[in-house]
Chains A and B, each alone.
Chain A
Amino acid sequence: MREEISKGHLTISKGGNRKMEKMKVLAEWSYEPAKPHRGYTGKTLKVNVGEKAFEAKDVTEDMKEKFVGGRGFDLKLLWDSVKETTKWDDPENELVFSGGPLCGITQYPGTGKFYVAFISPLTEQTYDSNAGGHFGPLLKFAGWDALEVQGKAEKDVIVVIDADEGKVQILESPFTDINAYPVTKALYDYYGDPNDINDRKHISVISTGKAAESTFWGCLNSSFWDVHRKDFRLKQAGRGGSGTIFRDKKIAAIVVKTHNLSGTANDPVDVETLTKLGHKVHKEIFTLDAKQCKMTTVGTSHLNEIMNEYHILPTHNYKFGQHPEADKIHSDVYKTWFSQGLPDGCWYGCTLACAHAVDDFELQTGPMKGTKVIVDGPEYETAAGLGSNVGVFDPHWTIESNYYADYYGMDTISLGTGLAFVCECYELGYLTKEHTNGLELKFGAMKDLMELIHRMGEGKDEFAKIVGLGIARMKDIFAEKFGAPREMLEKIGMEGQGIEVSEYVCKESIAQWGGYFLTLKGPQHDEAWLIFMDRVNKQLPTFEDKAEALHYFPNFRLWFSLVGLCKLPWNDIEPADNATAYPPQEAAKVPEHVQNYVDLFNAVTGKNIDKEELIRQSERVYNFQRVFQLRLGKGTRKYHNIPDRALGPVFSDEWEARAEYYNNELKQGGVDPEGLSTEEKVAKLNKIRREQWEKLVDTVYRRRGWDRNGIPTVETLKRLGIDYPDVVAVVEKNAKPEDQWKD
């Protein structure tokens, strides 16, 4: 499908790279790839691109016991490699990649994830992000439970892990165009077997793009070879700025290559159980998905209409949760764009197959204008972020901006939310064409918004560079340099801990305030998504109920990141009897699928965990990461802040759009709305909600075993068995007697 364009990539036209000559080896190291045994190879690899050094480390039993794998391994290795003063652009900062013990099994859906951890340019504390594709499994099958990349190269390099040849190399990059598609294409051509196009399934490439050099929204693109399309596809570890670090280290790409690829390459202890569990869930998907979430046909875009109908779809920088034009981005519309009938799993065995793509999409703008390409997605977050949230209800524009975000290496969520903030600032008159270098950045201004994306990709325009620093820094610059009112910017800037909010309106759910803003790393919905449980189902009526959910779900969901799984097959498909076999509170956890995960873990590793130990495994890493943030000077209560726009309406039109609901909220707060102006009502509700927020923070901290300042207590560390001397020392250095609970 991309054959013609691929030819374009082989020339210097269309922003591509010239056909590659043999690349210059700057450093090389030989190794004997360790075979995975019960989900682990027992080895991790460290590559320092600055010192051109390589190191293999053993995985200890304690590391497996306490950190499990994936994000747990990432954070442990990162902890050991950085100092409390390390900044995101210091050479010792790392990108640490790991799949986890279940990563790469093929019997169960959603098993190809890797997780990457790092100190983020946006949040200045640890962040972790994940992607599907083949990199995670191939890295493990190449012999490594984790990969640490440290140092800064003098000039652009490519890191190659070639298990077939038993060597790791640092190569001089020949690329003049470091954008994701041309780099990935060139490397598949370079390393692929010219006589067998689908032999490229043994290769995966990590890349970013030009925008990662000038913005803090740089993402990592993780490739997989699509044997049906006979072309590569890209999945993104989008959030946190990992791509920005990648380019700061002057890395153009990381390549992993291995032919050690089979359904039992993990050497699981109990293949029969894996197969049985897989069959059960595959059958659920085949028989129920069409009646449930339609993941196999439209992926997560099924959420577009649902969120709109329940006032949760962000439109116009989260001012509203619903829009009359939302039908234009309905999943039925996206279905006409997505190619149907292809097994769109991003790793083998994923019958949920939500990695849909738009084939033969003809680009209308930018450096690739006029060419036909494959666009991966858009998924819900992109359809909302680069759609309704910026006032655009045109799938063609969203698909094109999705493509270019991937091409330039930018996180579509931060990009969407950041552009939405810019649009509102422009419409409020805080920005003018003078600031934006001629762009009229109103909501729905598709032409100028696309031009801004290209300027960000090129990294030349000063305003585009400011936008790419993220909302937290935009607020400073808009206030200090452009004279915008700081107080208003704080109210409408949808970020927390330095990173942009993902694409759900949370102003009507107290529990989701916590799901977004009482998180380890900022408002990403991977910890807890409680809006329906809280606001619609009314399953969390008390603050204690909300706190319990904000204990259980973050810990349950974190577990996917320890073992290398995708969250979607947990509850985007559910057993037919889930709703009748369990009481409501339990049914929300999809208990049968949780048991599947326990059984999967035991069947691969030979261990004997139960549902309670599964949560403890997560809780250890959750609290370890919290202490890690503290070690880096964050991780206390003052960083758990929430903007007014997340708590409720800021302007009268937001109130009026949901007047009945908000008037009722006022009454429940003991305020009679009769006779009050809308502005007065907005102010009074905000006061009530600020008090509710503080109560939520207290209740959640207590439930999590943290003190009033949000610091895990030493007792909590001991209970979890992570009372390592250096971890305890961080807590003892920062905890104050006056912050301890008195009763």
Chain B
Amino acid sequence: MITVNGESMEWEEGMTVQDIIERKKYTFPLLAVWINEVAVPRDEFGSTTIPDESKVQVIHMISGG
């Protein structure tokens, strides 16, 4: 089990940051991701796997309309 933005999500072997983004239907282009407080570069979302028990933060970099 992992948490994504504080909510529980089933962990699967080999799941990547990109998998999480798609599962959560996060379509916003300016996403920033931290796994256990460590930032993941945007161009590595598809290749970075998530360890079990991770705390994942997917932050939408928008704070203004």
| Set A305, A380, A571: member contacting B63, Cβ < 8 A | A571
Q: Is the CB of B59 within 8 A of A588?
A: yes
Q: Which residues of B in the span 28-58 have a Cβ within 8 Å of any Cβ on A?
A: 28-34, 37, 39-42, 57-58
Q: Is the CB of A303 within 8 A of B65?
A: yes
* A580-B32, A588-B59 known; A502+B65 contact, CB < 8 A: yes
* A532-B60, A537-B58, A588-B59 known; A309+B65 contact, CB < 8 A: no
With a cutoff of 8 Å between Cβ atoms, the chain A residues found around residue B62 in the complex are 306, 529, 532, 571
| Set A306, A537, A572: member contacting B27, Cβ < 8 A | A306
| Alpha-carbon distance between A578 and B62 when the two chains are bound, in angstroms | 12
A334 to chain B, nearest CB (A): 17
A310: interface (CB < 8 Å): yes
Determine the interface band of chain A, counting residues with CB < 8 A from chain B.
35 or more
Q: Is the CB of A525 within 8 A of B59?
A: no
* A538-B5, A541-B6, A580-B32 known; A571+B61 contact, CB < 8 A: yes
B23: interface (CB < 8 Å): no
With a cutoff of 8 Å between Cβ atoms, the chain B residues found around residue A310 in the complex are 28
A570: interface (CB < 8 Å): yes
| Alpha-carbon distance between A530 and B60 when the two chains are bound, in angstroms | 11
| Alpha-carbon distance between A9 and B42 when the two chains are bound, in angstroms | 52
Tell me the nearest residue of chain B to A288, going by C-beta. Answer: B30
Tell me the nearest residue of chain B to A303, going by C-beta. Answer: B65
Q: Is the CB of B65 within 8 A of A580?
A: no
Q: Is the CB of A292 within 8 A of B29?
A: yes
Q: Which residues of A in the span 569-595 have a Cβ within 8 Å of any Cβ on B?
A: 570-572, 574, 578-581, 583-584, 587-590
Q: Is the CB of B64 within 8 A of A580?
A: no
A540 to chain B, nearest CB (A): 11
Q: Which of B26, B29, B37, B61 is most buried by chain A, counting CB atoms within 10 A of its CB?
A: B61
Chain A, residues 329-346, CB within 8 Å of chain B (1/0): the string is 000000000000000000
Q: Is the CB of B63 within 8 A of A532?
A: yes
Tell me the nearest residue of chain A to B39, going by C-beta. Answer: A580
Q: Is the CB of B30 within 8 A of A574?
A: yes
Interface of B is mostly: loop
| Alpha-carbon distance between A586 and B5 when the two chains are bound, in angstroms | 16
B36 to chain A, nearest CB (A): 12
Determine the interface band of chain B, counting residues with CB < 8 A from chain A.
20 to 34
With a cutoff of 8 Å between Cβ atoms, the chain A residues found around residue B58 in the complex are 537
With a cutoff of 8 Å between Cβ atoms, the chain B residues found around residue A537 in the complex are 5, 57-60
With a cutoff of 8 Å between Cβ atoms, the chain B residues found around residue A291 in the complex are 29
Q: Is the CB of A529 within 8 A of B63?
A: yes
With a cutoff of 8 Å between Cβ atoms, the chain A residues found around residue B63 in the complex are 529-530, 532-533, 553, 571, 588-589
Tell me the nearest residue of chain B to A504, going by C-beta. Answer: B65
| Alpha-carbon distance between A557 and B63 when the two chains are bound, in angstroms | 11
| Alpha-carbon distance between A525 and B39 when the two chains are bound, in angstroms | 30
A565: interface (CB < 8 Å): no
Q: Is the CB of B32 within 8 A of A587?
A: yes
Q: Is the CB of A525 within 8 A of B61?
A: no
B32 to chain A, nearest CB (A): 3
Q: Is the CB of A580 within 8 A of B61?
A: no
Q: Is the CB of B60 within 8 A of A525?
A: no
B29 to chain A, nearest CB (A): 6
| Alpha-carbon distance between A568 and B48 when the two chains are bound, in angstroms | 32
Tell me the nearest residue of chain A to B38, going by C-beta. Answer: A580
* A525-B65, A529-B65, A571-B62 known; A292+B41 contact, CB < 8 A: no
Q: Which residues of A in the span 534-582 have a Cβ within 8 Å of any Cβ on B?
A: 536-539, 541, 553, 557, 567, 570-572, 574, 578-581
| Alpha-carbon distance between A587 and B63 when the two chains are bound, in angstroms | 10
A566 to chain B, nearest CB (A): 11
B31 to chain A, nearest CB (A): 8
| Alpha-carbon distance between A541 and B3 when the two chains are bound, in angstroms | 15
With a cutoff of 8 Å between Cβ atoms, the chain A residues found around residue B41 in the complex are 580
Q: Is the CB of A587 within 8 A of B59?
A: yes
A77: interface (CB < 8 Å): no
A473 to chain B, nearest CB (A): 26
With a cutoff of 8 Å between Cβ atoms, the chain B residues found around residue A292 in the complex are 29-30
Chain A, residues 498-518, CB within 8 Å of chain B (1/0): the string is 000011100000000000000
With a cutoff of 8 Å between Cβ atoms, the chain B residues found around residue A541 in the complex are 6
| Alpha-carbon distance between A590 and B62 when the two chains are bound, in angstroms | 10
A186: interface (CB < 8 Å): no
A138: interface (CB < 8 Å): no
Q: Is the CB of A583 within 8 A of B37?
A: yes
Tell me the nearest residue of chain B to A576, going by C-beta. Answer: B42
| Set A306, A539, A570, A584: member contacting B64, Cβ < 8 A | A570
A642: interface (CB < 8 Å): no
Q: Is the CB of A574 within 8 A of B61?
A: yes
* A292-B30, A579-B42 known; A571+B64 contact, CB < 8 A: yes
Q: Is the CB of B65 within 8 A of A536?
A: no
Q: Which residues of A in the span 80-131 have a Cβ within 8 Å of any Cβ on B?
A: none
A423 to chain B, nearest CB (A): 23
A511 to chain B, nearest CB (A): 11
B20 to chain A, nearest CB (A): 13
A205: interface (CB < 8 Å): no
Q: Is the CB of A536 within 8 A of B5?
A: yes
With a cutoff of 8 Å between Cβ atoms, the chain A residues found around residue B26 in the complex are 536
With a cutoff of 8 Å between Cβ atoms, the chain A residues found around residue B40 in the complex are 580
| Alpha-carbon distance between A303 and B30 when the two chains are bound, in angstroms | 12
| Alpha-carbon distance between A503 and B5 when the two chains are bound, in angstroms | 26
- Apart from A532-B62, A579-B59: 12 A-B pairs, beta carbons within 8 A: A292-B30, A293-B29, A293-B30, A309-B28, A530-B63, A536-B60, A538-B7, A578-B61, A581-B39, A584-B32, A587-B61, A590-B61
Q: Which residues of B contact A (CB under 8 A)?
A: 5-7, 25-34, 37, 39-42, 57-65
Q: Can you list 28 pairs linking A and B with CB atoms under 8 Å apart?
A: A293-B29, A305-B27, A309-B25, A310-B28, A503-B65, A529-B63, A532-B28, A536-B5, A537-B58, A537-B60, A538-B6, A538-B7, A541-B6, A557-B64, A567-B64, A571-B61, A571-B63, A574-B30, A579-B59, A579-B61, A580-B39, A581-B39, A584-B57, A587-B32, A587-B59, A588-B59, A588-B61, A590-B61
